[in-house]
């Protein structure tokens, strides 16, 4: 492709290929020289910077361009804060501080900006996270579409959770129903009635704080399936670990409304983003115990959906068993999927 398309920003194959060719393959990761450091050599939800006493600074940054900017369950402000909180949490970090950058279009209504910032402050206050800096800029009318927010989350971890630790024998746990955010935004973009839908955007602190305390070395990998959904996340895990990930479609929690709208819009719900769900790879022997623990925390729809296996013939692939018993390769999403989703 000679020009950037919407697909390049959708979080699927095109995004991965662009980042690999233009950035990852060209930039040296100097954190390799520091024991335990993790940076751009292995793109994860956050970077790990070793500090004193064997601890790590966990740093994540992201930009948010969701359309529409207000949706059932939240708005772009709540989405931005929760997104960076969750990116720190899934790396085993406790979020402590955040920076933000807000760029708005000339003529943007002041009351709408206040409403968005109120959402941001509300989450930061509830999560006891300090806003330590940021930037605010205005672009001429027509030079930006309404508002873009960038956030940088900062946390501290004593026991980082790194995707590279996935190994055969691990089991895959999903903390809740998938695709709620993606289905909501996609339906709104198509002008459909969304009375049955609501974004799941929320911080995952209530899951990860107790999980990290009680299962320190049991959780081998964690991620939140945002752009590209479950299919992209599992494909990234399979590729980076060199293992086969086997998934049972009948075990994957999906609400009836997400199934209905996905079928109506012709999209695989496993490609749709979630903003309040975690995917865990855990020691196989402890998987049932972890699942019960997660459900007792209030994540009633949590389920074990698959396994990590060593298979030279299917190395780096995700195989899904359909609800009628057939097997197929679960490909990472390609194309636009849902533009401007987060």
Span 1-17, average pLDDT: 76
> Could you tell me if 127 and 180 lie in one domain?
no
pLDDT value of position 20 = 77
Query: 3-state class of 60 per DSSP?
Result: strand
Q: Bridge partners of 63? A: 150
> Could you tell me if 56 and 153 lie in one domain?
yes
Q: What pLDDT digit, counting tens, does each position of 77-101 carry?
A: 999 999 999 999 999 999 999 999 9
Is residue 340 domain-resident?
A: no
- What's 123's domain CATH number? 3.30.1330.10
Within 8 A by CB and 6+ apart from 282, the residues are: 170, 171, 173, 215, 218, 219, 220, 290
> Could you tell me if 216 and 316 lie in one domain?
yes
Kindly report the backbone phi and psi dihedral angles of residue 203, in degrees, each rounded to the nearest multiple of 5, phi listed first: -70, 145
Span 33-47, average pLDDT: 70
> Could you tell me if 90 and 219 lie in one domain?
no
What does DSSP say about strands 147-157 and 56-64: parallel, antiparallel, or unpaired? antiparallel
The DSSP secondary-structure symbol of 139 reads E
> Could you tell me if 290 and 321 lie in one domain?
yes
Is residue 73 domain-resident?
A: yes
> Could you tell me if 314 and 169 lie in one domain?
yes
- What's 269's domain CATH number? 3.90.650.10
Is residue 334 domain-resident?
A: no
What does DSSP say about strands 318-321 and 56-64: parallel, antiparallel, or unpaired? unpaired
Taking the C-alpha atoms of residue 54 and residue 56, their distance in angstroms, rounded to an integer, is: 7
Nearest residue to 222 (alpha-carbon basis) of 175, 168, 163 = 163
> Could you tell me if 111 and 256 lie in one domain?
no
When comparing pLDDT for 252 and 311, which is higher?
A: 252
Is residue 339 domain-resident?
A: no
Is residue 39 domain-resident?
A: yes
Given 157, 178, 203, which residue is the final one in a domain? 157
> Could you tell me if 183 and 283 lie in one domain?
yes
Question: pLDDT tier at 125 (50, 70, 90 boundaries)?
Answer: very high
Portion of the chain with pLDDT greater than 90, in percent: 75
pLDDT value of position 31 = 55
**Domains identified in the chain, total number:** 2
Rounded (5°) CA angle 171-176-178: 100
Is residue 341 domain-resident?
A: no
Given 130, 157, 184, which residue is the final one in a domain? 157
Return the exposure string of 125-145: e unless at least 16 CB atoms fall within 10 Å of the residue's CB, then b: eeeebeeeeeeeeeeeeeebe
Q: What pLDDT digit, counting tens, does each position of 312-324 carry?
A: 888 899 999 998 8
Taking the C-alpha atoms of residue 188 and residue 194, their distance in angstroms, rounded to an integer, is: 7
When comparing pLDDT for 325 and 187, which is higher?
A: 187
Is residue 338 domain-resident?
A: no
When comparing pLDDT for 214 and 22, which is higher?
A: 214
Is a pLDDT exceeding 80 seen at residue 35?
no
> Could you tell me if 186 and 225 lie in one domain?
yes
pLDDT value of position 30 = 57
> Could you tell me if 129 and 202 lie in one domain?
no
Nearest residue to 11 (alpha-carbon basis) of 236, 201, 197, 204 = 236
Instruction: Characterise 318 by phi-psi region: left (phi > 0), alpha (psi -120 to 50), beta (else).
Output: beta
> Could you tell me if 107 and 171 lie in one domain?
no
Lowest mean pLDDT among 11-25, 31-45, 270-284: 31-45
**Token pair belonging to 166:** 């996935």
Within 8 A by CB and 6+ apart from 327, the residues are: 319, 320, 321
Is a pLDDT exceeding 90 seen at residue 67?
yes
Is a pLDDT exceeding 80 seen at residue 190?
yes
Q: In what order do the strands lie in the sheet with 56-64?
A: 47-50, 56-64, 147-157, 94-105, 130-139
Taking the C-alpha atoms of residue 166 and residue 219, their distance in angstroms, rounded to an integer, is: 9
Given 157, 183, 199, which residue is the final one in a domain? 157
pLDDT value of position 44 = 66
pTM: 0.91
Q: What is the H or E stretch that residue 169 is in?
A: none
pLDDT value of position 248 = 97
> Could you tell me if 267 and 132 lie in one domain?
no
Work out the mean pLDDT of the chain and round it to a whole number. Answer: 91
Q: What pLDDT digit, counting tens, does each position of 245-275 carry?
A: 999 999 999 999 999 999 999 999 999 999 9
Question: pLDDT tier at 230 (50, 70, 90 boundaries)?
Answer: very high
Query: 3-state class of 157 per DSSP?
Result: strand
Find the domain containing 203 and state its range. 163-329
Is residue 342 domain-resident?
A: no
Strands (E), 226-324: 244-248, 279-282, 303-309, 318-321
When comparing pLDDT for 39 and 50, which is higher?
A: 50
Span 107-133, average pLDDT: 98
């Amino acid at each position: 492709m000679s020009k950037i398309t919407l697909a390049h920003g959708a979080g699927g194959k095109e995004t991965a290929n662009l980042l690999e060719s233009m950035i990852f393959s060209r930039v040296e990761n100097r954190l390799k020289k520091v024991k335990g450091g993790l940076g751009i050599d292995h793109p994860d939800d956050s970077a790990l910077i070793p500090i004193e006493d064997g601890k790590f600074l966990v740093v994540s940054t992201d930009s948010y361009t969701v359309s529409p900017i207000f949706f059932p369950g939240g708005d772009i402000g709540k989405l931005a804060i929760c997104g960076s909180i969750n990116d720190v949490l899934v790396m085993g970090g406790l979020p402590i501080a955040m920076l933000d950058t807000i760029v708005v279009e000339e003529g943007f209504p002041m009351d709408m900006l206040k409403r968005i910032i109120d959402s941001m402050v509300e989450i930061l206050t509830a999560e006891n996270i300090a806003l330590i800096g940021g930037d605010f800029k205005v672009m001429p009318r027509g030079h930006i579409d309404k508002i873009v927010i960038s956030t940088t989350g900062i946390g501290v971890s004593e026991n980082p959770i790194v995707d590279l630790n996935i190994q055969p024998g691990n089991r895959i746990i999903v903390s809740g129903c998938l695709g709620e955010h993606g289905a909501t935004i996609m339906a709104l973009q198509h002008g459909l009635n969304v009375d049955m839908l609501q974004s799941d955007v929320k911080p995952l602190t209530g899951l990860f704080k107790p999980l990290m305390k009680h299962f320190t070395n049991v959780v081998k990998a964690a991620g939140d399936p945002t752009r590209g959904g479950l299919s992209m996340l599992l494909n990234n895990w399979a590729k980076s670990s060199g293992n086969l990930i086997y998934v049972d479609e009948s075990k994957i929690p999906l609400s009836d409304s997400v199934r209905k709208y996905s079928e109506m819009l012709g999209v695989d719900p496993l490609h749709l983003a979630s903003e309040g769900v975690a995917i865990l790879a855990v020691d196989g022997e402890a998987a049932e115990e972890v699942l019960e623990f997660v459900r007792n925390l209030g994540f009633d729809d949590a389920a074990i959906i698959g396994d990590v296996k060593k298979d030279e013939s299917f190395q780096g692939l995700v195989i899904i068993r359909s609800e009628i018993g057939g097997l197929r390769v679960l490909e990472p999403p390609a194309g636009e999927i849902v533009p401007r989703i987060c």
